Amino acid sequence: MRRIADAAEEFLAHRRVAVTGVSRNPGDHAANGVYRRFRERGYEVFAVNPNATEVEGDPAFPDLASIPGGVQAVVIGTAPAHARSTVDECLRLGIDHVWFHRGPGGGSLDVDAARHGRARGLSVIDGGCPCMFGATADVGHRVMRPILQLTGNVPRRIPEASGDLS
């Protein structure tokens, strides 16, 4: 097990990041907030939405494989039902860092998809929000982090990638 802060630091060290579930109608959609934050903080960030060609004024891609030059890490911001297919695509493409976004509600976390990825060697953060850590953090998210750790929506520690397929 390792501290989530350490896993977040490793994740955020990657500068080419995709965010799945970025909506054409942003409103207060969590994936859009994460996408904007990465963009504002100088990351090369890519929106993934199979139903859009543009979001937030930027090109959108139907899947991870369509992103020119690929990415190093993925924030899953879709409904949990889509998480497993994203994890499988990460495995196929050699993307080894995945973050399941989770705020106060259920978020994007699919526990089975997280276990599946971790068992195949992915570094998986299964809860919380990148905006709670490091260069992408803001005061509001930093305040929410310990509160959501009490509820379990932000884990304090996460298992290491195992590569154990048994």
* Domains held by the chain: number: 1
Yes or no: say if 37 and 62 are a contact pair by the CB < 8 Å rule: no
Q: What is the pLDDT of residue 20?
A: 98
Assigned domain for 87 exists: yes
Assigned domain for 116 exists: yes
Assigned domain for 8 exists: yes
Average pLDDT, the chain: 93
Residue 26 in tokens = 């942003």
Assigned domain for 97 exists: yes
Model confidence at 165, in pLDDT bands (50, 70, 90)? low
pLDDT digits (tens, 9 = 90+) for 123-162: 999 999 999 999 899 999 999 999 999 999 999 999 988 8
pLDDT digits (tens, 9 = 90+) for 20-57: 999 988 777 899 999 999 999 999 999 999 999 999 89
Q: Exposed, middle or buried: residue 94 (CB in 10 Å: 0-12, 13-18, 19+)?
A: exposed
Q: What is the pLDDT of residue 164?
A: 66
Per DSSP, helices labelled H in the chain are 4-12, 30-40, 83-93, 111-119, 139-151
DSSP collapsed to 3 states, 27-40: CCCHHHHHHHHHHH
Closest CA to 22 of 69, 65, 74: 74
Which residues form the domain of 110?
A: 2-158
Assigned domain for 165 exists: no
Model confidence at 103, in pLDDT bands (50, 70, 90)? confident
Assigned domain for 21 exists: yes
**What's the whole-model pTM score?**
0.94
Q: What is the pLDDT of residue 106?
A: 85
Q: Look up the CATH number of the domain holding residue 59.
A: 3.40.50.720
Assigned domain for 28 exists: yes
Assigned domain for 164 exists: no
